[in-house]
A and B are shown apart, each in its own frame.
Chain A
Amino acid sequence: MRRRPAWLLSIPAWIWYVTWFVIPVGIIVMYSFGRRGVIANGETDNVILTNLSFDRYSEALRAPFGTLLRLTLETAAIGTAICFVIAVPAAYAMATKLGPRARMVALALVIIPFWTSFLLRTYAWTILLASRGVLSEELQDRGLRDTPIELLGTRTAVQIGVVYNYLPLMVFPLFVAFDRLEPSLREAARDLGAGRLRTFLGVTLPLSAAGVTSGLLLVFVPLMGDFVTAEVLGKAQGTMIGQSIYGQFLDSGNWALGSAMSVLLIGLIAATVGCFALALRLSLLAFHSSRDLRLPRQAA
């Protein structure tokens, strides 16, 4: 039988990802140990790579960047949590309470925003929230408010914006996970006398752990690196690290410092995700051992 090994087909992908992913990310790591040089004589590269040091890291960790790291983590964590709280009941209802037609419509309505220009839908919030915008004027005209809404440029506005932008990414995986569960499992739990909440928390949610994890990841990771939402709704006062990295590269031209900031960002994301995964595993473990009735592991 003539069979060509399957991995041969993956060779183009290997070459492509090494050339355009592994090497460039490696360069960031290398540059983060360098220092800023002067751009001269048509030179486009301004990082000096002699005497490598950790100086850029200590520079990056000083205020205001250190504070910005904390603020970004806060915005991302709160944003992910709000997305989760909004998405769980909705995804559950879409998977279990809606008929096939209504379900398709609901899914389409979740997908369409996800596929519409990110910038414009963020900007639409500016139109809504502006102090001289529709919402503000309308509320004042109806006497529901005396003063204009002053939300733009605040962290609240950025928070609303990120929740809005990343919500679909939480709904999809949760929906798929809930949808895959056999309804008979829920019925069995009910027959055994578990209440609704207990069935959901004790059966449905633990069995959907994979969907929950991918939803949290899909929202948290891009949110940490986002700067567009903050740029559009948070105005000049930087509220996200992304803005500051953007500035180092495209405005002040300190590539070495910008590289160190990016490495710190990756590290922070990896650390947060790692801690969270550990906590999730421990709590699931505690949960399972605290019950007399062992739940089956996720059925294949």
Chain B
Amino acid sequence: MKRSIDPVSVGLKVWTVAMLAFLCIPIVIVVAWSFNTANFLVFWETWGLRWWRTAFDNESLRDSVRTSFVVAALSTVIAVVIGGFGGIALARRPGRWVVPFLVLLFLVLVTPEIVDAISYLLWFTRLRLDDGLLRLAISHSVFGSAIIAFVVRARLAGLDNSIEDAAADLGATPTRTLRTIILPLAAPGLFAGALLSFTMSLDNVIVSSFVKTTDTVTFPVYALGSLRTGGPKGDLAVAGTMFLMLTLVSLFTATYALRRAGGSSREIVGALAAE
């Protein structure tokens, strides 16, 4: 095609840039406001490192960040096991069980979070399960594992069945085939899914605020609490900025890992967006 200026293309690009700006402005605000010296986050005073210096002195904030990471790690481990095997099972030689299984996974993904949240609360109360970490980890793992199952399934979808047959012909036990052939092939999907599950757990507000106990408050629950009572202070923006940097690092790691594993940029986007 000729490289002349095309008003429609230009218009579309301008539209895209405007949308990206709309998406990024609030993030820029959070980062900028972490350098704000005012007592409360809403008002701008002047640039300064006040809250960066004192953010770590706030014990409940520190505890909440720690709790968040412990819960995210625990729930991701569970989700990888449950969802990983589930995804492999879906991709390999599907049978009649696949349809109800997919329906179940789909229901897990489309149930509104508020409904999940109260159902966990009711069930945990009935079971008298009082351990906050366990309650959070279990509830976060359900959604995370469903996502991992879909990502792993997509990753293994194009795989030729004869690979497994070849391994079996050469005398490998099914367990060995799984361990030495299927798992390595599924690894990039598992990794991307795990990362997604981890970040979703870190960011979960609704379910966490229902199932948490008083001594296991996650960061988003702590943040919601400080928004509800009085005003949030600068240390919240500092913590948010650190989470953002962590996100960026893991995003780049994930892209790098998937690229090394031979994924194209499109697959990577698909995997990261849990398409």
Contact = CB atoms under 8 A, between A and B. Distances in A.
B119 to A, nearest CB: 4
B39 interface: no
B29 A116 contact: no
B63 interface: no
B95 A13 contact: no
Interface stretch (A217-225, A277-285, A286-294): A217-225
A125 interface: yes
B253 interface: no
Interface string B107-127: 110111111101111110110
Interface in B2-27: 8-9, 12-13, 15-16, 19-20, 22-27
A139 B161 CA distance: 64
A120 interface: yes
A27 interface: yes
Contacts of B145: 13, 16
- Looking at chain B's contact residues, the main secondary structure is helix
A179 to B, nearest CB: 6
A166 B21 CA distance: 15
Given A3-B174, A124-B27, A118 B205 contact: yes
* Residue of A9, A13, A28 contacting most chain B CB atoms (<10 Å): A13
Given A93-B12, A120-B30, A113 B236 contact: no
A110 interface: yes
Nearest to B171: A2
A1 B162 CA distance: 12
B20 A265 contact: no
A103 B142 CA distance: 33
Contact of B41 (A117, A123, A164, A179): A123
Contacts, number: 275
B139 A20 contact: yes
* Residue of B20, B83, B139, B224 contacting most chain A CB atoms (<10 Å): B20
A3 B104 CA distance: 26
Given A10-B97, A13-B83, A128-B29, A265 B16 contact: no
A107 B272 CA distance: 10
Contact of A8 (B89, B112, B123, B203): B89
Contacts of B203: 115, 117-118
A221 B19 contact: no
Given A118-B220, A119-B223, A259 B118 contact: yes
A225 B24 CA distance: 24
Interface stretch (A56-64, A143-151, A201-209, A226-234): A226-234
A112 interface: yes
A173 B275 contact: yes
Given A20-B139, A128-B26, A227 B123 contact: no
Contacts of B251: 108, 111-112, 115
B42 interface: yes
Contacts of B116: 21, 24
A100 B265 CA distance: 9
Nearest to A105: B20
Contact of A10 (B101, B266, B272): B101
Contact of A132 (B43, B243, B269): B43
A194 interface: no
A193 interface: no
A205 B94 CA distance: 32
A110 B272 CA distance: 11
Interface in A163-177: 164, 167-168, 171-173, 175-176
Interface of B: 8-9, 12-13, 15-16, 19-20, 22-27, 29-30, 33, 41-44, 78, 81-83, 85-86, 88-90, 92-95, 97, 101, 104-105, 107-108, 110-116, 118-123, 125-126, 128, 138-139, 141-142, 145, 149, 164-165, 168-169, 173-174, 199, 203, 205-206, 209-210, 219-220, 223-224, 227-228, 232, 236-237, 240, 243-244, 247-248, 251, 265-266, 269-270, 272-273, 275
Given A110-B23, A179-B266, A255-B122, 6 more contacts: A6-B92, A23-B123, A117-B244, A120-B223, A172-B273, A172-B275
